[in-house]
Amino acid sequence: MPRGRAVNYDAQREAILTHAAALFARSGYPATSMNQVAEACGLSKATLYHYYRDKDAMLVAIAEGHVLKLRALVDDVLAQSLPPEQRLRTLIRRIVDEYADAQHAHRVLTEDVRFLAPDDRQRVLDTERHVVAGFAQAVAELRPGLALAKLDKPLTMLLFGMVNWLFTWMRTDGPLDYDRMAAIVADLFVGGIAAVQAPPVEAARPDSLAITTTVSGD
């Protein structure tokens, strides 16, 4: 009889993807071997193959799994009956929250998707376009006429630029957390710099600036 799956099979698959994403993000997909993934997971290479047939399968699972989560949160927010500004602010907060817990997966999505097989790459890119279209819809609802002027998507990409860049310079041990920064991004995008609201002053070390000296994102 064939061997059944272990009770923790799905959890182990997710743990493997977490380690693989960290390795891909740090060293790049081409430079990472199955041996390195197995070692990082504390598994033998033979056991690793029980969960994923090869490195390509892990790349697909990481990239597609991450972008599907982004699509789900966009669809969830758009389905809610929210005023335009609240909808956009909610989208920004939700996507910053998602990125905060999936920075390695997001880097893999943005940098390593080109290594996917054509059909897999197209599927992931189509899902990404759905995410961008959802944000563009929210932007256009806030400022009617932007879509007609074909500015909804360029402005959306500028917004994503702010969100993506946030994770290359911000330190989590600084005086600001991601929730506060999400609100600041929304303030800046919606109303310009004059609309940015300073968070409450807290006792913080004078030198605890939330900016690093590199843009590695590690």
pLDDT digits (tens, 9 = 90+) for 10-21: 999 999 999 999
Phi, psi (deg, nearest 5) at residue 111 = -110, -25
pLDDT digits (tens, 9 = 90+) for 27-84: 999 999 999 999 999 999 999 999 999 999 999 999 999 999 999 999 999 999 999 9
Report how far apart, in Å, the C-alpha atoms of 1 and of each of 4, 6, 8 are: 9, 15, 20
CA–CA dist 95, 88 (Å, integer): 11
How many Cα neighbours within 13 Å face the side chain of 58?
30
pLDDT digits (tens, 9 = 90+) for 173-188: 778 889 999 999 999 9
pLDDT digits (tens, 9 = 90+) for 158-178: 999 999 988 888 887 778 889
Per the structure block, which two tokens stand in for 141? 């609802």
CA–CA dist 79, 203 (Å, integer): 40
CA–CA dist 22, 20 (Å, integer): 5
